[in-house]
């Protein structure tokens, strides 16, 4: 089939873009022709169709989002809706051209109908789906009711209509069982669960001299442990728990390296955790300037980060699934994880062995973390067992079976 993949952004190392890359691999291997359309393109999607208005950072789109979820009305709901319809109409023509010129048989829409970061785009995609009857797979990574910042809205009816759209030609995919159940209860919409995965059949890369130079780029001595927080700097990542953990650990100069930039959801949280870190004597270092999609003379990939890490912190308060957690398991790193709801429901019962937090840092977690960074032998059996569990449940073969089954039933 000729399949169009649509998103606000298909670029970089954010969770959605990384997960789409795995879907791309499976679909290509199955012989499908893929075409991309987004407001930002890179990597596997670099040659796609660029429609800048589709990006959630577009000036007018961003202003609409801010107004729609403001605690006080800055613009009337009627005016908001008029602006949404205007921008939706503006995107419709280029999107229809993308579909027609590439003679697409099916669309895969990435998170557009789940999280309201681009309200006009969701309206546009829904309208096109209803009018054309083209088969659509809606890959829903984050539903709006799962995010605190979307709980207050000036357009509740709009959200209930378009996030997600309920149409006979749209098949919804949730990434965990909690989201699946809530979608059914809230909207009466059925969805298939396809978890985030990793290619566990691919050999784990070797720690070459080039990869090892990542530590030098960070100005980290060979004797200092590299403790990595492989996430964006946003509040639900619970980075303050990682700071508290490092504060209690046996290190002269504790440093926490964060792989992604601050700013996706504003800078208030970044400023707050910087203050917390200073108070606790922990140095926070953003490593995003070095971590890129592909390695270069002065850049490194997430694989390089994991291979050098002595410990990975993942103290999220909420996650749709947990990409970075599964990545850390693949690279056989010990992990500190907060027991967020989806971890409890879909991951923990499988038998993984992580250093667990329950919303706070206790002495047992500090003791176990100290042991892990000072003795990789202590972690060897644990990380090998975690790898085998993940290979069984979260492999590319799991994705292939589930995704191709969805397409077969939809077409």
Q: Can you give the pLDDT at residue 86?
A: 97
- For residue 378, is pLDDT > 80? no
| CB atoms near residue 271 (< 10 Å) | 11
- At 45-65, the pLDDT tens digits run 999 999 999 999 999 999 999
Mean pLDDT of 299-313: 94
| CB atoms near residue 194 (< 10 Å) | 22
- For residue 247, is pLDDT > 80? yes
CATH of 2-197+396-410, one of 3.30.70.260, 3.60.70.12, 3.40.50.2000, 3.40.50.10490: 3.40.50.2000
- For residue 385, is pLDDT > 90? yes
- At 72-120, the pLDDT tens digits run 888 899 999 999 999 999 999 999 999 999 999 999 999 999 999 999 9
Structure tokens at 23: 């879907």
Query: Which of 216-225, 292-301, 356-365 is the most confident on average?
Result: 356-365
Q: Can you give the pLDDT at residue 235?
A: 92
Answer with the residue of higher pLDDT: 175 or 377. Answer: 175
Is residue 355 very low, low, confident or very high in pLDDT (cuts 50, 70, 90)? very high
Q: Can you give the pLDDT at residue 39?
A: 97
- For residue 295, is pLDDT > 90? no
Question: From CA 123, how far away is CA 56, in angstroms rounded?
Answer: 14
Answer with the residue of higher pLDDT: 378 or 60. Answer: 60
- At 147-167, the pLDDT tens digits run 888 999 999 999 999 999 999
Burial (CB < 10 A; 0-12, 13-18, 19+), residue 68, is: buried
Question: From CA 233, how far away is CA 56, in angstroms rounded?
Answer: 18
Cβ-based neighbours of 65, under 8 Å, separated by 6 or more: 56, 116, 117, 118, 119
> Residue written as tokens 């699946």?
180
Q: Kindly provide the b/e burial profile for residues 229-264, where b requires at least 16 CB atoms within 10 angstroms of the residue's own CB.
A: bbbbbbbbbbbbbbbbbbbbbebeebbbbbbbbbee
Total length of the chain: 411
Choice among 54-68, 246-260, 296-310 with the minimum mean pLDDT: 296-310
Question: From CA 110, how far away is CA 114, in angstroms rounded?
Answer: 9
- At 66-83, the pLDDT tens digits run 999 998 888 899 999 999
Q: Can you give the pLDDT at residue 222?
A: 82
- For residue 13, is pLDDT > 80? no
Q: Can you give the pLDDT at residue 367?
A: 96
Residue 189 CA to chain centroid, in angstroms? 23
CATH architecture under which domain 209-393 falls = 3-Layer(aba) Sandwich (3.40)
Mean pLDDT of 343-354: 96
Residues of CATH 3.40.50.2000 domain(s) within the chain? 2-197+396-410, 209-393
Mean pLDDT of 266-279: 94
- For residue 181, is pLDDT > 90? yes
Q: Can you give the pLDDT at residue 75?
A: 87
- For residue 411, is pLDDT > 80? no
| CB atoms near residue 148 (< 10 Å) | 11
Is residue 299 very low, low, confident or very high in pLDDT (cuts 50, 70, 90)? confident
- For residue 375, is pLDDT > 80? no
- For residue 129, is pLDDT > 90? yes
Residue 238 near residue 338, CB atoms below 8 Å:
yes
Q: Can you give the pLDDT at residue 234?
A: 92
Q: Can you give the pLDDT at residue 35?
A: 98
For the chain, what is the mean pLDDT? 94
Closest to 136 in 3D by CA, of 102, 103, 166? 166
- For residue 343, is pLDDT > 80? yes
- Using DSSP bridges, classify how beta strands 106-110 and 136-140 pair: parallel, antiparallel or unpaired: parallel
Q: Can you give the pLDDT at residue 270?
A: 95
Mean pLDDT of 199-210: 92
Closest to 131 in 3D by CA, of 163, 172, 164, 165? 165
Q: Can you give the pLDDT at residue 395?
A: 94
pTM value?
0.84
């Amino acid at each position: 089939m000729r399949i169009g993949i649509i998103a606000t952004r298909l670029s970089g190392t954010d969770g959605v873009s990384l997960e789409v890359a795995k879907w791309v691999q499976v679909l290509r291997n199955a012989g499908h022709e893929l075409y991309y359309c987004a407001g930002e393109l890179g990597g596997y999607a670099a040659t796609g169709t660029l429609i800048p208005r589709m990006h959630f950072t577009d000036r007018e789109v961003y202003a609409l989002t801010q107004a729609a979820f403001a605690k006080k009305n800055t613009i009337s709901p009627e005016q908001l809706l008029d602006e949404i319809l205007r921008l939706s109409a503006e995107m419709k023509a280029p999107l229809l051209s993308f579909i027609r010129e590439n003679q697409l048989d099916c669309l895969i829409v990435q998170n557009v109908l789940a999280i309201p970061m681009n309200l006009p785009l969701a309206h546009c995609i829904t309208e096109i789906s209803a009018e054309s009857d083209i088969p659509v797979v809606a890959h829903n990574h984050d539903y709006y009711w799962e995010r605190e910042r979307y709980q207050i809205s000036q357009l509740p009816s709009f959200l209930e209509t378009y996030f997600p759209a309920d149409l006979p030609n749209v098949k919804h995919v949730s990434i965990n069982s909690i989201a699946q159940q809530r979608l059914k209860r809230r909207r009466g919409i059925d969805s298939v669960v396809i978890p985030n995965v990793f290619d566990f059949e691919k050999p784990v890369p070797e720690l070459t001299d080039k990869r090892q130079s990542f530590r030098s780029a960070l100005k980290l001595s060979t004797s200092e442990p590299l403790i990595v927080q492989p996430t964006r700097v946003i509040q639900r990542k619970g980075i303050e728990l990682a700071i508290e953990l490092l504060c209690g650990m046996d290190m002269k100069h504790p440093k926490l390296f964060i792989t992604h930039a601050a700013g996706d959801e504003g800078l208030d949280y970044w400023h707050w955790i910087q203050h917390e870190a200073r108070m606790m004597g922990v140095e926070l270092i953003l490593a995003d300037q070095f971590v890129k999609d592909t390695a270069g003379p002065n850049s490194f990939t997430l694989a390089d980060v994991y291979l050098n890490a002595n410990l990975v912190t993942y103290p999220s308060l909420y996650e749709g699934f947990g990409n970075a957690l599964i990545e850390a398991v693949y690279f056989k790193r010990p992990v500190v994880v907060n027991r967020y709801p989806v971890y409890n429901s879909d991951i923990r019962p499988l038998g993984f062995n992580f250093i667990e937090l329950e919303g706070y840092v206790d002495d047992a977690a500090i003791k176990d973390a100290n042991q892990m960074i000072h003795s990789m032998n202590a972690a060897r059996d644990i990380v090998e067992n975690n790898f085998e569990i993940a290979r069984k449940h979260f492999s590319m073969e799991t994705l292939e079976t589930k995704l191709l089954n969805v397409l077969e039933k939809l077409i």
